Amino acid sequence: MAGSSHIRSRTSDGIIEAELLDQHILDEVVIREIGQSLTDLVDAGGDSVDVVVDFSQVAHLSSSALGMLITLNSRVQERGGRLMLTHISEPIGEVFRITRLDRVLEIHDTVVDARAELRGDS
């Protein structure tokens, strides 16, 4: 288990799991730090190219956080992986639907669901 003050991460079965620890992902500085931490994980991932980000703790996020996720998604895809978001609350899900980013970013209910999708079980 590894992490920063904003994320807790682990890698198993070739999948990087990162849990966001902040309740509010609104501050530009915090968003930059989260983005950098996630990018570092992806770049250091070696053969692990798929990433699951767990939003269980997140109650609010801003459009800057959406931008960070788009950039991260591109980075993961460049490495041939897939980025999946899980445990998205209903209001935050609405933010993704309104901005139509639910068409761009893969959203699953749980980490288990995301892992199953990555394994091709579903």
Give contact residues for another protein (rule: CB under 8 A): 26-29, 59-60, 62-64, 66-68, 70-71, 74, 91, 94-95, 97-101, 103-104
Output the smallest distance, CB 38 to another protein, in A.
Answer: 14
Nearer to another protein, 63 or 122 (CB): 63
Nearer to another protein, 11 or 55 (CB): 55
Residues 6+ apart with CB under 8 A from 25: 31, 34, 58, 60, 61, 62, 65
> In DSSP terms, which residues pair with 107 in a beta bridge?
85
**Integer angstrom CA distances of residue 94 from 39, 75, 81, 90:** 26, 25, 26, 6
Output the smallest distance, CB 101 to another protein, in A.
Answer: 7
Nearer to another protein, 100 or 121 (CB): 100
Output the smallest distance, CB 2 to another protein, in A.
Answer: 26
Edge-to-edge strands of the sheet including 15-20? 2-3, 7-12, 15-20, 50-54, 83-86, 106-108
Nearer to another protein, 8 or 79 (CB): 79
Output the smallest distance, CB 89 to another protein, in A.
Answer: 9
